[in-house]
Amino acid sequence: MKPLLERRPASRLGRAVALAIGLACAPLSPAAAGPVVERIKADHVIRCGGVPRPGLAGLSADGRRASGLFLDLCRAIGSALLGPDGRIEFQPYDADGAFARIGDGRDDLAFLDGSEILDHGLAGVAHLGPASGFVAIGAAVAEGSPVRSVTDLSGKSVCFLQGSNGHRSLEAWLAAHRLDVARVGFTETGEMQDAFAAGKCDALIGETGDLAAARRGSRILPEALSTFPIFAATPASDPQWAAIVAWALIALQRAELPAGPWTGSGTETAAVDGADLGLSADWTKRVLAGGSYADLYARNLGDGSPLRLPRGANAPVEAGGLFVTPFRE
C-alpha cells in the first residue's frame, strides 16, 4: 500500500505530518483486548507522537515525506498488532497543547523525555515504557580547530542557548571537571549558530542531532556532556498495549545480538509467547520485518543518513550501549 502523507502547519517542522503506512491485521482475542488495543483494531490505525528532532522525527531531506527513527519504531511496534494493511499516524509535538494528546487518549504511543513528561503533567496519566533511544548533549567545533576533546575547551569561548538542556549540561560538566570557559549565551538558535559560524565562539553546545544537522565546516567532539533517554509512553488505561509496546522494543533492541557459546541469538533470549500478549505466534517476525533497531538507527541517524552519528548509547549494553533488556538467563 502506497504511504499516504498529510501536512498541516507546524512551528519547528514548518508543517505537521501525519503518516499513513501499510501494516496487516493479526488475530487478537477480543476477550484479551484492552481499550487502546480495541480502538486500534476498530480504527485500523496507530497514532504516535513526539517532539521533532533531526533523525528522530521530521521531514526527509527533500521535504516531501515524514521520516525518522520514531516513525520507524511506531511502524514496527504497530506491526505486532496490525500488519501491512493498517496505518500509523505521527503527530509532531511542537506546541504545549500537543502533549495533552497522550493523556487524553488521542495518541496511543508518545516518545517523550523526562522533562517533557514532568513539565506537562503526564506522570500520572501515561505509562512510562522502556527507553526508545538516547539523546546526547555535545559540543561542535570548527573543522580546523585544534580542540580534540571537551577538556580542550577550558578557557575558550562557548556558545549555548540560555536555560536550555545544553546550558545545564555544560554547567554540570564544567563543575564536575573543575574547568571553566568563556560563556556566550543566546536566546535565539539562529543568532547562536550565526555567531558560531562567524567565529565569535570556539564551540557550540547542543543536542548532537541538531549539531549534526547544522554541520557546515564543523565536527562534533567525541565526548557527550550528558545523555538522557526518550521513553515510549502509552496511555495508562491499557496495560496490555503497554506490554506490547515494551516487548516489541525489546525485540528490536536485542535482535542484532549474535548467539554465544552459552546463549541463543538476540530474540531467542527474550522470546515471549504471542498468546501472552494477545498477539499471533509470529509477532516478532512482524516487528522485525523492517529490520532490527541497529538497522533503523543506521537508516535515520547513522551511516545511512546525512547525520552520520555513531551508535553510542543507542546499542544494547552487550554491544557497549545503554539498552538494558530482560532476557532468559
Calculate mean pLDDT across residues 33-46: 90
User: Which one has a higher pLDDT value, 60 or 321?
Assistant: 321
Contacts 24+ apart (CB under 8 A), 313-319: 313/134, 313/136, 313/224, 313/227, 314/133, 314/134, 316/253, 316/254, 316/256, 316/257, 316/266, 318/257, 319/256, 319/257
Name beta bridge partners: 206: 138
Looking at the predicted structure, is the pLDDT value of residue 311 above 70?
A: yes
114 close to 229: Cβ distance less than 8 angstroms: yes
Average pLDDT of the chain is 87
Categorize the per-residue pLDDT at 26 as very low, low, confident or very high, splitting at 50, 70 and 90: very low
Indicate if the pLDDT at residue 17 is higher than 70: no
Higher-pLDDT residue of 58 and 221 is 221
Q: What is the mean pLDDT of residues 42-54?
A: 94
Measure the CA–CA gap between 233 and 231, rounded to whole angstroms.
6
How far is it, in rounded angstroms, from Cα 70 to Cα 321? Answer: 19
Place of cell 523492517: 290
DSSP assignment letter at 50: E
pLDDT at site 141: 97
Q: What percent of the chain has pLDDT over 70?
A: 88
Q: Say yes or no to pLDDT of 8 above 70.
A: no
CA distance 269 to 267: 5
pLDDT reported for residue 83: 77
Residue 123 pLDDT > 50, yes or no? yes
Across the strands, what pairs with 138? Answer: 206
pLDDT band of residue 329 (cuts 50, 70, 90) is: low
pLDDT more than 90, % of the chain: 74
pLDDT (0 to 100) of residue 259? 80
Tell me the three state secondary structure of residue 115: helix
Nearest to 201 by CA among 216, 187, 186, 211: 186
Rounded Cα distance between 3 and 21, Å, is 5
Confidence (pLDDT) at 6:
37
Average pLDDT over residues 148-164: 96
| Range 192-220 average pLDDT | 94
Using a CB cutoff of 8 Å and minimum separation of 24, what contacts does 28-35 make? Answer: 28/81, 28/278, 28/279, 28/280, 29/278, 32/240, 32/278, 33/240, 33/278, 34/237, 34/238, 34/239, 34/240, 34/241, 35/237, 35/238
pLDDT per position as a tens digit, 244-289? 999 999 999 999 988 877 777 777 777 789 999 999 999 999 999 9
Phi, psi angle pair for 207, to nearest 5°: -65, 140
C-alpha 78/C-alpha 46 separation (Å) is 7
Q: Map out the domains of the chain with their CATH numbers.
A: 4-135+228-319 (3.40.190.10), 136-227 (3.40.190.10)
Residue 121 has pLDDT above 80, yes or no: yes
Cα 159 to the center of its chain, rounded Å: 25
Q: Is the pLDDT of residue 167 over 60?
A: yes
**Measured between alpha carbons, how far is 140 from 202 in angstroms, rounded to an integer?**
9
